[in-house]
Amino acid sequence: MRWNRGPMSDNVEDVRGQSGGRRIGGPRLGLGAMLLLLVLSLLFKRDFFALVGAGGGVPAGAGSGADLTPEQKMHEDSLAEFASAVLDSTQKDWAVIFPEFGSRYRDAKLVLFRDAWQSACGAAETATGPFYCPGDEKVYIDLGFYDELTSRFGAAGDFAQAYVLAHEIGHHVQKQLGIEAQVRESQRRRPNAANDLSVRMELQADCFAGVWGGHYAARGGLEQGDFEEGMRAAAAVGDDRIQKMSQGYVNPDGFTHGTSEQRQRWFNRGFRTGDPRQCDTFSGSPL
């Protein structure tokens, strides 16, 4: 993936080296319970540690970087530069697209943290993975997730990393277009359809990520193999694959993000068409 190094985006809040003195969590849990909460947090992209007050007493933003080797810090700083470049690229494209919907795009912020930080949606921790918080319109990422994307999920490559961030910005697009609010209201009124609606919203964010990817490719920003990296990343975080990894079997009733095949299909649709209007996952037809 071709990208230019430069100063950090004005929309990046790098809090990796800060310690706010606030503590996230309460009583410590045993190893088995902690592992269970970790799996649930990764699977559902929710902070299950915070729900039970089990953050283990981790200071918010406590990671000062002092425990990193010079090589590790250089690697992490390179990931931060890359995330900044992808953030600016995605948001510039959406700023051009939004007038087609009679609206003006409002930039999201990207918070780079280490170990733990506090968001308007609750505790952000490494275990939760990257997520978008509509309450403060910020994307939260512990850059260590990118290494986990390679080592644990088998989705290596810079465009795989870009896909993750573009997906979260897709949720910001949904917030601004009013889609997120409509889905939450529908989930409240139709609790039996809550999971299906969650899957449809996540797949639309995948499609929106593909829209940006297609625009980036049209500008000559991708290299051979980059598209395949994005597709592998989409497959790697499918509900069926994660369930199989974590519990050994697949339970479709527990899907919240879509299967590997669905996530690949909608990402590919956005990529090939470059048109967000082709990302209607709420039409009522089977996914």
pLDDT tens digits for 112-133? 998 889 999 988 888 788 999 9
| pLDDT number for residue 46 | 54
Tell me which amino acid residue 31 is. Answer: L
Q: pLDDT digits over 128-149, tens only? A: 889 999 999 999 999 988 888 8
Residues (pLDDT < 50) of the chain are 19-34, 49-64
pLDDT of residue 65: 53
Residue 113: its pLDDT value, please?
A: 93
- Model confidence pTM above 0.85: no
Predicted pLDDT of residue 40? 54
